[in-house]
Amino acid sequence: MALALSILDQSTIVSGRGAADAVRETLELAQLADGLGYARYWLAEHHNSASHAGAAPEILIAAIAATTRRIRVGSAGIMLPHYAALKVAEQFRMLEAIAPGRIDLGVGRAPGSDGRTAYALNPAAAQAADHFPQQIQDLLGWLGEGLPVDHPYRSIRAQPEVPTTPQIWVLGSSEYGAQLAAWLGLPYCFAFFITDGQGAAEALALYRQSFRAVAGRLGAPHAAIGVHALCAETEAEARRLYRSRELWRLSRDRGIYPPLPSPEEAASYPYTEAEQAHLDRIRSRAIIGTPEQVHARLTALAAELQVEEIAVLTPMHDPAARRNSVRLLAQAFGLPGAALA
């Protein structure tokens, strides 16, 4: 089976431009990805962040679904402990009404924010994550499988009731999500870009080994990874563009989430010796370069981890350079619309 290639978008806010620009750039990139032949376009959820504008992925999904033709559109993810499962089921049934058969519902357990914001979203945040497995089962019930006979809300139906249902994915960066996805018989995506790959092999192996088929769901395990990758016509240009991400990572690793700096801002930053050593370690694992280099790295990684899909995250300061990276990668993978781009 050919490796499926998708896009993960955090609607990154960059220096010199605002959140509204980030949202518009997301909408434009999704339309490009649709034409190029990418399999999915996934939207992330972050709150109280100066780095990311994607606080409401379900709204962005609706806008993209209404303005694209064939690409699957979904969340990566909805941070389920913030919300009532019924409301999420209603939102995604409505999305299915907009784009039948093209909606993914990726759910995660992490807060997608700081602790204080998590409490503002759900005053019961301290206990909410403990209910994550039950919430997924409630979602499955309200999205078409039906709730158990002894469920207290069995008589409540999630509207609108439409013929198709979204595909539910479990997202995670640890073995917890892998085990849960395996037990429920659902597809699983590991957030490789969050952990720099640490724990990926173990979590994905556990998912495959523990997977049990559930009637009406998957007959076999189906795994993906979300990775950061960037390409340009030359390796030197790719490395220049990547400098933005490097400087941003220094802030992220200190718990600070600023707008993404430009390559010029990154080049003029006075790095300490310790900071440069830290970035050297990160750079050695970065998936950046020419389209051929990035294609080789991604396919090798997919084979090593035995995954069927890769979702590529490419935050860049220059939207034209980001579109070019997405186009070049589509051409390297031979996506059906890439020859026309």
Do 109 and 177 touch, CB atoms closer than 8 A?
yes
Q: What is the mean pLDDT of the chain?
A: 95
Indicate if the pLDDT at residue 186 is higher than 80: yes
Angle between helices 291-305 and 200-210 (to 10 degrees): 50
pLDDT band at 113 (very low <50, low <70, confident <90, very high): confident
45-59, 112-126, 219-233, 298-312: segment of lowest average pLDDT: 112-126
pLDDT band at 316 (very low <50, low <70, confident <90, very high): very high
pLDDT band at 214 (very low <50, low <70, confident <90, very high): very high
Mean pLDDT, range 238-257, rounded to an integer: 94
Q: Write down all domains in the chain, each with its CATH number in brackets.
A: 4-234+291-340 (3.20.20.30)
DSSP per position, 125-192: HHHHGGGHHHHHHHHHIIIII---TT-TTTT---SS--S--PEEEEEESSHHHHHHHHHHT--EEE-H
User: Per mean pLDDT, which of 90-99, 103-112, 271-280 is the most reliable?
Assistant: 90-99
Do 118 and 111 touch, CB atoms closer than 8 A?
yes
At 6-29, the pLDDT tens digits run: 999 999 999 999 999 999 999 999
At 269-298, the pLDDT tens digits run: 999 999 999 898 888 889 999 999 999 999
Q: What is the pLDDT of residue 143?
A: 97
Q: What is the pLDDT of residue 1?
A: 66
Do 90 and 161 touch, CB atoms closer than 8 A?
no
Mean pLDDT, range 228-245, rounded to an integer: 97
| Global pTM value | 0.96
H helix runs in the chain, sequence order: 19-36, 57-66, 85-98, 115-121, 125-128, 132-140, 175-184, 192-195, 200-210, 235-252, 263-268, 273-285, 291-305, 319-332
Q: How many Å apart are CA 227 and CA 7, to the nearest integer?
A: 9
Q: What is the pLDDT of residue 110?
A: 86
92-96, 132-136, 336-340: segment of lowest average pLDDT: 336-340
| Residue that the structure tokens 């009406």 belong to | 216
| Choice between 90 and 280, residue whose per-residue pLDDT is larger | 90
110-124, 206-220, 316-330: segment of lowest average pLDDT: 110-124
Mean pLDDT, range 31-53, rounded to an integer: 97
